Amino acid sequence: MNVHSEPPLLRFESVWKTYGTGEARVNALAGVNVTITRGEFVAIMGPSGSGKSTSMNIIGCLDTPTDGTYRFLGADAGRLDRTRRATLRNRYIGFVFQGYNLLPRTTAVENVELPLIYRGVPGRERRALAMQALAEVGLKGREHHTPAELSGGQQQRVAIARAIVARPTLLVADEPTGNLDTARSHEIMNLMTRLNKEQGLTIVLVTHEADIAAYASRVITFVDGKIAADELNREAA
């Protein structure tokens, strides 16, 4: 055995997530096993109530399994207390949501600086890193615009810049194109594909749209709390 081999980025080992008790008991996840390695771009699909959002919340350390094990970089993340899970999130995971969650009276660059403030990064370095992240998402020249002065697609780019500014190991994206028209949606997905390919950023994307999932190199489909399909997408851009 090679003792230097790195563990998978994340692994579900017979993960269950149960809500309620007795007759009201619902298994949101029912014994799920899955492994995702560094550098993958994975889409999670499935109908409403299939378990895709529950799995995303556990992957992002926003929730814990009822039973089974969730390992992140080899650590048993599901057994960590709330504080340690928050530390793991802040250090390794960036999030992008359907709603952009930008501070309305704050400029793009100030929004992107926020995760760095929490990490105690000094002001000048913080500003430089935020400007660089905005350039990487195609917003050079828009750094001092407030959200109201930006289109929906540009606001989502700011949200992506904020998610990657601290150089996370994993980007978790929950319906990131849900509020965008078709053209802007494909622009955002092309940007994510580029971040995955050029920076090696691991991306786990939750979507219910097949044309959005098609950008990923692997598509996992949930049905009734179980994985119904786990397929490589050889046609991914």
Q: pLDDT of 64-98, one tens digit each?
A: 999 999 999 999 999 999 999 999 998 899 999 98
pLDDT greater than 70 at residue 4: no
The neighbour count for residue 49, using CB atoms within 10 Å, is: 14
Q: Which CATH superfamily is domain 10-232 in?
A: P-loop containing nucleotide triphosphate hydrolases (3.40.50.300)
DSSP helix/strand/coil, 121: coil
Q: pTM of whole model > 0.75? A: yes
Look at the block and give the residue holding tokens 């799920």.
32
- Give the model confidence (pLDDT) of 153-179 as tens digits: 999 999 999 999 999 999 999 999 989
- Give the model confidence (pLDDT) of 212-236 as tens digits: 999 999 999 999 999 999 999 877 6
Is the Cβ–Cβ distance between 184 and 108 less than 8 Å? no
Per-domain boundaries in the chain: 10-232
pLDDT reported for residue 90: 87
Run of H or E including 206: strand 202-206
Find the radius of gyration of the CA atoms of the chain.
Answer: 18
Signed CA dihedral, 85, 86, 92, 96: sign only? positive
Report how far residue 206's alpha carbon sits from residue 214's, in angstroms, rounded to the nearest whole number: 12
What type of residue is 195? L
